[in-house]
Amino acid sequence: MALLPPGLSRRLREAPAPRPSPLPAPPPPPPPPPPPFTFVPRRHRLGRGHALLEDGDVHRHLYLQGVLSGLAEAGERPRVSEFSCHISGCCQIFDTLEGYEHHYNSLHRNVCSFCKRSFPSGHLLDIHILEWHDSLFQIMAEKQNMYKCLVEGCAEKFKSSEDRKDHLVTAHFYPADFRFDRPKKVKSGPKHTSSPAQQGASVPMDVSMETLEQCQVDPMETGPGENMEIPQPAASPNPSVPEKRLYKSRIPSTICFGQGATRGFKGPRKKV
């Protein structure tokens, strides 16, 4: 038994019915009889927790928890034979496209054209270029606050990167050892201003790529020197002690651990 009268779907696709144009005012009608009901229609607002919304909320929950449409359909990732990153100087090898994509997007995007360092975002790259490679910046920084807060949406500027770090910690609750706000190291020579009490000219913040040049060395060598920036288990309370960077022996490992596992992709929404 059909619930609805026929032809409704067709009406849906048509333009809305034109409203009748206003006619000249008719003569006033005789007063209507009093209506049988004193019922007054009323709109209802339903709050978040309203009982009427309960079943819909449970359905939404089941969807998020992935329970709704049964088991996942496992999708095969295309199998590829090993290939290497084509960026000159980078010798990583991959056997999955996804592994390569993440590598490329993390390390070869947002690369500073001056010093080849790469950054997690364009935002941090821009700040780096300004503070490291813009000579005008240094001059202006002597007279006005030039060090921008790293947080997007915060317009504060500071006269030194140390002040900026303090701001990041106190106003934005950043960790004091935030990895993308590291002191600038001078490569050659002894540690020049590295007494723990003094930060010196500390500048952000890079996902360092200096070792690219060193890939002429045997690419199969994976050393203990991979600098993973892993802090000592007892996290140092003194953030201004710069961590030693083992630049020289840092050869990136060349085999990427793609396990080639089949992956499931389909959630209920994929079918929509």
Partner 1 sequence: MPGGTGNFSMLKGSLVGWRSLLSSLTVSYSIPALRKARRQEQLVSKRLLREESTAAEGGQDGAEIVPDPLSEDEVLELLKGVQRGSDDRKRSLSQLRLALQNQETQQKFVRLDGSIPTLIGLFTSRLADVQMEAARCLHELSHSSDPMVAEACLPVTSYLLTYLSGHSVEFTELCLYTLGNLVVESEAVRKRLLPQGIIPVLASCIQSPHDAVLEGLGYVLSQLLQAKEAPAEIIPLVLGSALPQHMLRLVCSGLKSGTGAAVEFAWSLHYMVCSHTADAALLSLGAVPALTSLLLDLAAEIQDAPEGLELIVCPVLRCLGNLLAGETGCEAQIQDERLLIALFLIMEHFLQEHPFIVQEGLWLLNNLTDEPFFCSALLSLDLLPALLQLLRCSQMATVLAAADFVGQGGCWALERHRSSPALQERAQALLDMVGQPAGASAFAPSHTTLPAFS
Q: How many residues in the shown chain lie near partner 1 by CB under 8 A?
A: 118
With binding defined as CB under 8 A, does residue 21 bind partner 1? no
Place of tokens 């083992």: 246
Strand partners, 83: 94
The CB-of-167 to partner 1 minimum distance in angstroms stands at 11
Q: Tell me how far, at minimum, the Cβ of 50 lies from partner 1, in Å.
A: 5
**Of 19 and 187, which has the nearer Cβ to partner 1?**
19
Comparison of 179 and 184: residue with beta carbon closer to partner 1 = 179
Considering the rule CB under 8 A, would residue 113 count as an interface residue with partner 1? no
Number of other residues whose CB lies within 10 A of the CB of residue 116: 14
Contacts with 129 (C-beta within 8 Å, 6 or more apart), sequence order? 112, 114
CB of 40 to partner 1, least distance (A): 6
Cα separations in angstroms, 88 against 35, 94, 114, 198, 253: 85, 15, 16, 38, 16
Decide: is 231 part of the binding site for partner 1 (CB under 8 A): yes
DSSP structural state of residue 203: -
Q: Which is nearer to partner 1, 121 or 193 (CB)?
A: 121
At its nearest, how many Å lie between partner 1 and the CB of residue 248? 14
Residue 33 in tokens = 């009889």
Report CA dihedral (184, 185, 187, 188) to the nearest 10 degrees. 120
Left if phi > 0, otherwise alpha if psi is -120 to 50, otherwise beta: which for 135? alpha
Q: Which stretch binds partner 1 (CB under 8 A): 21-29, 96-104, 131-139, 196-204?
A: 96-104
- Which parts of 165-184 interact with partner 1 (CB under 8 A)? 171-175, 178-180
The single residue among 22, 28, 36, 189 that binds partner 1, judged by CB under 8 A, is: 36
Positions 126 through 165 that interact with partner 1 (CB under 8 A): 151-154
Q: Does 70 bind partner 1 (CB under 8 A)?
A: yes
CB 124 within 8 A of CB 110: yes
In the three-class reduction of DSSP (H, G, I as helix; E, B as strand; rest coil), residue 158 is classed as: strand
244 sits near partner 1 (criterion: CB under 8 A): no
